[in-house]
Amino acid sequence: MGCNGSSAKKDLKMKALMYKEKRKGHDPNSQLIMNAYHFPLLENQFVMKASTHVFDPYEVMERLGKGGFATVRLAKYKGINEYMFAMKSMRKVVDEVDMTSSIINELNLLNKLDHPNIANFNEAYQEDEYIHAILEFSPGKSLAQLYSELKEPLPLIDTLKIFYQIFKTAAYLMKKKIIHRDYKPPNIMVEKTQNSDYFGYQIQLIDFGFSRTYQDSLNDKMVMGSPHYVAPESLNQEYSYSADVWSIGIMLYFSICFRYPFEDTDEEELFRKIQEQELSFHPKETWDTVPEELKDLVKMMLEKDPMKRIHIKDIPVHPAFKQIHEIEDSVTITEENRDKLSRYFTRLNAMERKFLKYSTKFLCPSAKTEYCEKFTLLDKNNTGTLNFFPDSPKTNYMESDTSKGNSDSLEVSKESQKYYKVTYSDYLAAIIHHDVICGEVNVELLFHTLNPAYMTDIVMKNEMRDALFLGNNNKKEEKMFDKLKCKTRSGKEVISKEWVMDYYDKIYKKLDRDPDESESSDEEST
């Protein structure tokens, strides 16, 4: 027995050592310093601009945060207070380890996501030592900052409202086959809103530096996550969506009582407790006031066997969120917004919608807070899309009623009617007034991000095409773009800011004309 105990202790000590070293990008079992994440250099799916231009349009302000790999600063576009962004400056080499592949992987993942609780990625600049990413700015505080300022936990209903959004975001990422692998309070931004009829809070998940697609995670044997939040199986270099469930479960436990379920100042002993110690609820006086349904959810999330752990898609529908479900059920699309969605999908072609969707990236945070919360509540199946039936007296959503046993009637309506998949950026583009979406500053930002050369008043059409469609497989949209008529200079087609503004003007004339004058879109429905 003594021999076995000694062996187990030695194994835990080695895991603690490997955890510390691999978090820095080193493999203690190798004499070579490898690429930090052992991935081949990924092909960019976005345009990387020369860094000489990064400080031309942006006024870099105070530091928002600093980690081992990156520094985040507030950046104001051309000194305009409403147009704030987060500039994440990431070092290409850390402790002699090349991080370029990991950085490109993070930005590629962000570039594919379209969700109200995930920061938009707008553009990137590259220099010898750094890659600078311009991201959507969340004006709130991190969950960690919020906790440090509070003397006691938030009211339970507020905690549920915040975590319901976290769970829905995690379920969306699972649909996209992405594992975040670093859920912790510093990576959850929380902003208090005025929308008392909705959540009253808007959350944003940040820092995708450790994130991987599910397939890539199978080949990545790094130990990821912060010590208190790492899942038992992750210590054995095993990753799946269940590891994210565990990490969020630890956050939820801490949010309720301001203590971790597994605590120790010694990392080796902490890992032993995570893998072996039975879950208990302490302090008892706090947990005695917590509803049994919520304690049941925490137990299911902190099940040590990942095969028995609750599935991420089942968490938002758990009875612990009964009060939130009542709020969710009360939210519908107004007749006015139904009409806006109908015009958007039936009058515009795919290329026109793409330009509008792209422009929503540059909305100032205050312009879309209400829409963020409402879209999250409308997205009852957590796919990041709504199914819009323009010919129906009401709007339906794929799978939104399946938990209530109404899937048959939904399938009938899907088969008998046209419907359109509404992404988050579709929703913003259709609902928000065009004076806001296509204001002069927004159009300038759009032109600037699609212009690889920047600081010129024109861009070659083929350069804008590459910027707009890099990583996009929609050939139909590309053909539409190729057919757009532009001016020529020296025999080459060019696009100016004025051309972009005129293009938007034509789009909104199509949206605003009377029904008798409208032309049907050449875009087929699903």
To the question of pTM greater than 0.95 for the whole model, the response is no
CATH class of residue range 141-328: mainly alpha
Q: What is the mean pLDDT of residues 389-406?
A: 49
Q: Does the structural domain 48-136 have CATH classification 3.40.50.720?
A: no
pLDDT value of residue 64 = 92
Indicate if the pLDDT at residue 1 is higher than 50. Answer: no
Domain with CATH 1.10.510.10 in the chain: 141-328
The secondary structure of 93-157 as a DSSP string is: EETTEE-HHHHHHHHHHHHH---TTBPPEEEEEE-SSEEEEEEEPP-SEEHHHHHHH-SSPPPHH
Q: Are 115 and 203 in contact (CB under 8 A)?
A: no
Q: What is the mean pLDDT of residues 382-386?
A: 92
* pLDDT, the chain, mean: 81
DSSP SS3 for 338: helix
How many whole angstroms from its chain centre is CA 201?
16
pLDDT tens digits, one per residue of 88-141: 999 988 887 788 888 888 888 898 899 999 998 988 888 888 899 999 998 889
pLDDT band at 384 (very low <50, low <70, confident <90, very high): very high
Q: What is the mean pLDDT of residues 318-322?
A: 96
Share of the chain above pLDDT 70, in %: 79
Q: What is the mean pLDDT of residues 314-322?
A: 96
| Structure-token match 């004058």, residue found | 517
Q: Which fold, 335-517?
A: Recoverin; domain 1 (1.10.238)
pLDDT value of residue 183 = 94
Domain with CATH 1.10.238 in the chain: 335-517
Indicate if the pLDDT at residue 272 is higher than 60. Answer: yes
Token pair recorded at residue 290: 């917590």
pLDDT value of residue 393 = 58
88 is in an annotated binding site: yes
pLDDT band at 52 (very low <50, low <70, confident <90, very high): low
Indicate if the pLDDT at residue 479 is higher than 80. Answer: yes
Indicate if the pLDDT at residue 523 is higher than 60. Answer: no
pLDDT tens digits, one per residue of 490-504: 888 998 888 888 988
pLDDT value of residue 369 = 82
pLDDT band at 50 (very low <50, low <70, confident <90, very high): low
Residue 313's nearest CA partner among 399, 234, 213, 214 is 399
pLDDT value of residue 62 = 92
Neighbour count for residue 119 (Cβ, 10 Å): 22
**Cα(500)–Cα(27) distance, integer angstroms:** 50
pLDDT value of residue 225 = 63
pLDDT value of residue 33 = 25
pLDDT value of residue 470 = 67
Indicate if the pLDDT at residue 195 is higher than 80. Answer: no
pLDDT value of residue 45 = 60
Residue 353's nearest CA partner among 137, 503, 516, 458 is 503
Q: What is the mean pLDDT of residues 56-84?
A: 86
Indicate if the pLDDT at residue 243 is higher than 50. Answer: yes
pLDDT band at 234 (very low <50, low <70, confident <90, very high): confident
How many whole angstroms from its chain centre is CA 231?
22
Q: What is the mean pLDDT of residues 18-41?
A: 36
Q: Which of 35-44, 223-232, 319-328, 345-354 has the lowest mean pLDDT?
A: 35-44
For 485, residues 6+ apart whose C-beta sits below 8 A from its C-beta are none
For 90, residues 6+ apart whose C-beta sits below 8 A from its C-beta are 69, 70, 99, 103, 130, 131, 132, 133, 209
Q: What is the mean pLDDT of residues 300-308?
A: 97
pLDDT value of residue 128 = 83
